[in-house]
Amino acid sequence: MATADEVKNLFPAMVDRFLPEKAGDINATILFDLSGDNGGHFWLKIADGAATTGAGELSDPAMTVKASADDWFAVATGEMNAMQAFMTGKLKILGDMGLAMKIQTIFAQ
């Protein structure tokens, strides 16, 4: 099981792996609603060729990712395939599905 700090640290790491040249004109905020004792609410904003992140609720995200913190940790670290997690219900996407597909390509592995 990932610790709460390990889960929290996934988001700054995503910002570090952000590929602005692949983001194009994306201007969206994504909420990550992660359940479990090690979870919480985190957000990632992509706008103007930059990515920023933080913790807390958002009122109107373009997309919400719902998962257990452990399942999201496994997806984010490459231990679990994102598409397989989605197809088996371990990862739920609410909102802009097109954005969900683009997100996979704008972060270095």
**8 Å CB contact between 55 and 40:** yes
Indicate whether 29 pLDDT > 90: yes
Q: Is the dihedral of CA 74, 68, 19, 106 positive or negative?
A: positive
Please return the burial class of 36, using the count of CB atoms within 10 Å of its CB with bins 0-12, 13-18 and 19+.
middle
DSSP letter assigned to residue 49: T
Domains parsed from the chain with CATH numbers: 4-102 (3.30.1050.10)
Q: What are phi and psi of 82, to 5 degrees?
A: -60, -45
- Calculate what percentage of the chain has a pLDDT beyond 70: 100
Is the pTM higher than 0.85? The answer reads yes
Question: Span 2-18, mean pLDDT?
Answer: 96
